[in-house]
Structures are given as structure tokens and as C-alpha cells.
Amino acid sequence: MTFGERLTKAVEVYGPLCVGIDPHPSLLDAWGLSRTAEGLERFALTAVEAFGGRVSMVKPQAAFFEAYGSRGVAVLERVISELRDSGTLVLVDAKRGDIGSTMAAYAEAYLGEGSPLAGDAVTVSPFLGFGSLQPALDTARANGRGVFVLALTSNPEGAEVQRSVAPDGRTVARTIIDFATARNSGISPCGDVGLVVGATIGETDVDLSGFNGPILAPGFGAQGGSVADLKRLFGPDMRNVFPTSSRDVLRHGPDVSSLVSAVQRVQESL
């Protein structure tokens, strides 16, 4: 099955919510855990227990695991493995982007068959040119995986680049969206190239109605994004929009039942 097919089936069962696993030091403190690899592992596996088999997609933030070196990366590998074993799609939030053989190596690490870091999809950065992503795009398609390309991010600094106008009159974001749209052309039920469009970006003239792919919408929940913001930004048809909530859910830990209840409340609000 293609990534788009698997994602569509997951949404039919669980709805569109994507929950993040962000082991931020302040959350480890709030859960009464040490800022060590042991604390990280306990935090992450508790989240896996709460989210696995209950949401369509889980997004572990790679940086919070990498901060603990090889032991942290080993925890990330276990998180990916256990979530996938539960039948939950895993989007590794690594935001990788480079050129040539280096991008090919990133693609193999996060999208290659048999790699312990390969989830079902990975976030990538197109700001070295959309064409630089070709190794990741090709590896994802060959292995039934997906990529989510940064387009209009929720951080305010992003506008400095993403809303800049290219010589052809299009904004950088529009150029990225057009490339991604072309890549997904003719694929049903949706393509394997997704976009990252923040729920908190405010008013935008970017038209996403012709985009045949999943849209990850971070900024929902703790960062201030609401259901009303999502509908205003994406319109009434949000079949392929995946609101992402991390801290707003994780703050209810470490009790697993409280985390599960928090997920259910967010799901019901969408």
C-alpha cells in the first residue's frame, strides 16, 4: 500500500489527529523524571503506551532524543518500532535537508527499508531547492513511505523566507506547494508528499484547494491554534489536514489514562 492509502485508512478509524512526542526538559520535570536517558525512555514509552493504536499518526521530535546522544537515539528507534508494531503511523520530525549524496543518506536513514530510524514518513526542509529533496522523494515512494515538506511554518521568523517573492512572482511557499502538487498529481486517494502549514500563520492568500496530499498543521493547542483557525485557514473540507497537538496532551502525564483521556477530548473537538 502507498503511504497515502495507509494514511487514509488510519483516518477512517481514528480521525485526523497527530500527537507529538516531545520530551522537552520541562515536561520531564513536570512528570517527575530525571533529565537523563533513563528519564527520556520512561517518558517516551509512557507516551507510546497512551497513543499507540489510538490515533492515526504520532510524531516524535527527533531533536529531543538526539540531545541524549546515542542512548537517546536508541530510545527513538524503540519508539518508532513499538508504535509501528501497534499499527500506528509514525512521522519522524527530523526536518532534514541537504544535497546530493548527503540527502540520499538522510533518505536511507529515515525512509529506507530496514533502517531502525525509518518511520512511515519524515519531515524535510526544501530551502536548498525543492529538487534537492529528490533522493527522499524517490526513496519514500519506492518504500511506500511519505515526506512532509516545510511550506508555511508556524514560527514568525519563517515568513522572512517563505513569503519572499521569487523572480517569477510566486512566493517561496507557493513554489514549494506547486512542486508538491505536481509530485502528487494523479495519485489516489492522496499523494505521498505532504506539506507543513502552521495552524497559527494567520491570514494567507495561499490556495491549497488543488493540493492532493496530506497537510500537517502544527501549532494546534498549546501554541494557540484552534479548530476555528483550522477551518478559516483550510476551508470546510479538511479531509487531508492533520492538526498536531503535543504539549497540550503531554501535560496530562505521566498517568496513562489521563493521557488517553486528553487525546480523546482533542479528537472529539475536531
The x, y and z cell numbers of residue 6, run together, are 495507509
Q: Where are the alpha helices (DSSP H) in 92-207?
A: 100-111, 134-142, 159-162, 172-183
Query: Has 95 been annotated as catalytic?
Result: yes
CA dist 41 and 39 (Å) reads 5
Rg (CA), the chain: 18
Which H helix or E strand runs over 96? Answer: strand 89-96
Q: Are 120 and 90 in contact (CB under 8 A)?
A: yes
Residue owning grid cell 542512548:
71
CA dist 164 and 159 (Å) reads 7
Residue owning grid cell 502544527:
218
Q: Where are the alpha helices (DSSP H) in the chain?
A: 3-14, 25-30, 37-51, 62-66, 69-85, 100-111, 134-142, 159-162, 172-183, 227-234, 247-250, 256-269
The x, y and z cell numbers of residue 258, run together, are 489521563
**What separation in angstroms does the CA of 203 have from each of 15, 87, 166?**
26, 36, 20
Q: Are 141 and 148 in contact (CB under 8 A)?
A: no
Task: Give, as one character, the DSSP assignment of residue 58.
Answer: E
Phi/psi of residue 193, nearest 5 degrees: -105, 110
Q: Which residues are catalytic?
A: 95
